[in-house]
Amino acid sequence: MSELLKTDYLIIGSGLVGMAFADTLFTETDANIIIVDRYAKPGGHWNMAYPFVTLHQPSAFFGVSSKELSRGDIDHIGLNQGMSDLATGAELLAYFDDVMRQRFLASGRVQYFPMCEYEGDGTFRSKLTGKAHKVSYEKLVDATFLTIAVPSTHTPNFTIAPEVTFMPLNDLPKVTSKPEGYVVIGGGKTGIDACLWLLSSDVDPNDITWIRSRDAWLLDRENTQPTEEFFSSSVGSIAAQYEAIGGASSIEDMFDRLEEGGYLVRLDQAVRPTMFHAATISKAEIAQLQRIKNVVRMGHVTAIEANRIVLAKGEIKTSNAHVHVDCSASLERSFGHKQPVPIFDGNCITPQMIRAYQPAFSASMAAYVEVQYDTDAQKNSLCSLVPPPNNDVDFIPMTLAMMMNQFNWSQDKPLRHWIRENRLDGFTKLISSVDKDDQQKMKIMQRIQNNAMPAITKLQQFNVELAQGAEK
Ligand SMILES: Cc1cc2nc3c(=O)[nH]c(=O)nc-3n(C[C@H](O)[C@H](O)[C@H](O)COP(=O)(O)OP(=O)(O)OC[C@H]3O[C@@H](n4cnc5c(N)ncnc54)[C@H](O)[C@@H]3O)c2cc1C
């Protein structure tokens, strides 16, 4: 027998997206909310993260809208020195726990069911007791769409011989004696983090082999700083981005210009990136990573055997005395099979990205739009999907969709005001508080204004070229 519950909003998932959506819904309404999650604590994948994980973009615009996450300080040491703080995994879990207990549960309006698996059709079941609950709800919020696979919970898509030492990067701190070498598998954000942690722990770069099936275009963290001191790099990088796109004569030329203008960076000047996952990095981190010379570019790993690693385009030697570090959980494998759906569809809401790089803002704004606008058509037109990038050229539809949304939002005065006041919004406050007498800042704003339309036109043109290329 299942227990019957009743609520206005049933939210599945208490990761960043579920929490940011619930928080804005909580602020904007008197609604009752039930939140269900299979994990023991809020925070989603951060519960499964490696001990040395941090955000890669500033804490200042991560988390939920109502509660500051940043310490309001710059980092004085380390590879993020001089820039806004990046919350650690432990800080994030404490933060989400605090929001859940002190804000949501203390209000009496929110009920939380951790350790419960949602089975569909308003039913969830406790993993500990087997007890089922059936919920009668007004709206269902599926906050699991953006769930990303992480190394500690995913299954690698290659075979591993039983005698091989193989671990997710989570287990690196458990190593007890020096191995023959470390083989890091994966060129994304977690691969970067594993390499940086090994280097910061004084491992000789020559003892690290880094398997990067694809090189990535990366974002320079200096351009993501939401504070006044960084206006010329942050807001300036938007101007540089629009100029680069608007002035490009081809897609290849666009990437060259984005790099020249400082919007995109890469680890190896000799290798043209083919991947873009929006990983964000500091110049000091790049310099560290460039110390690793054993970079293997032979495609994906297909098997790790006792003496060799087999890759799509060759093989390399290894041994049982090497530690193989799994960083191969990828965005591609997280999202590749998912079919995007409209965010608002009758009594089902599926928060997805409506502004690139900002899942927290995207979820918060979806909740605001849910409350403030009447029809699904109105809501969906304000919340057009921004497709997650994987390949380099995915930068084009992603940026185009983001710019079109931004333009639509700017036409709606109350929404514009709400965005400016939302702490999860990166730069609008910074931009709208520019003193008209500040020549330097006004020059940057002028560059943005002059180049936004040409950039949109060029992205539209490149998008058509991509579609035609795909048809051939
Ligand atoms: C290493 C790393 C660093 C990152 N850094 C940044 C950053 O600096 N800035 C930034 O903006 N973003 C960053 N991100 C991305 C961001 O943290 C979010 O992870 C991302 O948007 C996904 O959040 P989510 O809530 O959708 O997914 P998750 O965190 O995966 O949460 C989904 C939740 O749904 C639950 N769930 C799923 N299915 C069910 C079910 N059937 N029943 C019950 N519960 C279910 C899961 O248990 C989980 O708690 C980073 C991601 C990683 C991996």
pLDDT at 64 over 80: yes
- The rounded Å distance from CA 149 to ligand 1 centre is 9
d(CA 111, CA 93): 19
pLDDT at position 63: 98
pLDDT at position 146: 86
Q: What is the mean pLDDT of residues 315-341?
A: 84
Residue with CA at minimum distance from ligand 1 atom 36: 13
Q: What length is written for the chain?
A: 472
pLDDT at position 469: 85
Ligand 1 closest atom vs CA 118: 42
Substitution site in 56, 97, 147 for ligand 1 pocket (most atoms within 8 Å of beta carbon): 147
Cα pseudo-dihedral 102, 103, 104, 106, rounded to 10 = 50
pLDDT at 371 over 90: yes
pLDDT at 335 over 70: no
Residue with CA at minimum distance from ligand 1 atom 49: 44
Check residue 154 and report its DSSP letter: S
Q: Domains of the chain (ranges plus CATH)?
A: 3-149+334-403 (3.50.50.60)
pLDDT at position 60: 95
Q: How far is CA 178 from the centre of its chain?
A: 33
Judged by DSSP in three states, 134 sits in: strand
154 or 191, greater pLDDT: 191
d(CA 79, CA 284): 5
Residue with CA at minimum distance from ligand 1 atom 11: 358
Q: What is the mean pLDDT of residues 233-254?
A: 97
Please tell me if the CB atom of residue 277 comes closer than 6 angstroms to any atom of ligand 1. Answer: no
Ligand 1 closest atom vs CA 360: 11
- The rounded Å distance from CA 47 to ligand 1 centre is 9
Weakest-pLDDT range from 50-54, 148-152, 390-394 = 148-152
pLDDT at position 295: 98
pLDDT at position 428: 84
Q: What is the pLDDT of residues 436-457, one digit of tens each?
A: 999 999 999 999 999 999 999 9
Query: 125 to each of 17, 115, 133, how far by Cα in Å?
Result: 22, 8, 6
pLDDT at position 332: 56
Q: How far is CA 286 from the centre of its chain?
A: 19
Cα pseudo-dihedral 276, 85, 400, 279, rounded to 10 = 0
Q: How many CB atoms lie within 10 A of CB 128?
A: 10
d(CA 231, CA 223): 9
- The rounded Å distance from CA 148 to ligand 1 centre is 6
- The rounded Å distance from CA 460 to ligand 1 centre is 31
Q: How far is CA 86 from the centre of its chain?
A: 14
3-class SS letters over 394-419: HHHHHHHHHHHHHHHHHCCHHHHHHH
Q: Where are the alpha helices (DSSP H) in 209-353?
A: 231-246, 251-260, 283-289, 331-335
d(CA 207, CA 318): 12
Please tell me if the CB atom of residue 148 comes closer than 6 angstroms to any atom of ligand 1. Answer: yes
Considering only CA atoms, give the Rg of the chain. Answer: 23
- pLDDT range class, residue 416, cuts 50, 70, 90: very high
Please tell me if the CB atom of residue 44 comes closer than 6 angstroms to any atom of ligand 1. Answer: yes
Smallest CA-to-CA distance from 299 within 313, 282, 284, 283 is with 313
Q: What is the mean pLDDT of residues 50-77?
A: 96
Beta bridge partners of 301: 311
278 is written with which tokens?
């929006």
Substitution site in 93, 148, 152, 223 for ligand 1 pocket (most atoms within 8 Å of beta carbon): 148
Please tell me if the CB atom of residue 38 comes closer than 6 angstroms to any atom of ligand 1. Answer: yes
pLDDT at 331 over 70: no
* Degrees, nearest 5: CA angle 64-66-72: 85
Q: In this prediction, what percent of the chain has a pLDDT beyond 90?
A: 91
Cα pseudo-dihedral 44, 48, 52, 53, rounded to 10 = -30
- Mean pLDDT of all residues belonging to the chain: 95
- pLDDT range class, residue 333, cuts 50, 70, 90: low
Ligand 1 closest atom vs CA 280: 8
d(CA 155, CA 148): 13
Say if residues 328 and 212 touch (Cβ distance below 8 Å).
Answer: no
Q: What is the pLDDT of residues 258-303, one digit of tens each?
A: 999 999 999 999 999 999 999 999 999 999 999 999 999 999 999 9
Please name the residues in contact with 287: beta carbons below 8 A apart, sequence gap of 6 or more.
Answer: none
pLDDT at 334 over 70: no
Q: What is the pLDDT of residues 184-240, one digit of tens each?
A: 999 999 999 999 999 999 999 999 999 999 999 999 999 999 999 999 999 999 999
- The rounded Å distance from CA 204 to ligand 1 centre is 33
Judged by DSSP in three states, 227 sits in: coil
Smallest CA-to-CA distance from 124 within 146, 142, 102 is with 142
d(CA 373, CA 189): 37
d(CA 127, CA 12): 15
d(CA 14, CA 22): 9
Please tell me if the CB atom of residue 55 comes closer than 6 angstroms to any atom of ligand 1. Answer: yes
Say if residues 257 and 237 touch (Cβ distance below 8 Å).
Answer: no
Please tell me if the CB atom of residue 388 comes closer than 6 angstroms to any atom of ligand 1. Answer: no
Phi and psi of 414, rounded to 5°?
-60, -35
pLDDT at 347 over 90: yes
- The rounded Å distance from CA 361 to ligand 1 centre is 14
pLDDT at position 336: 59
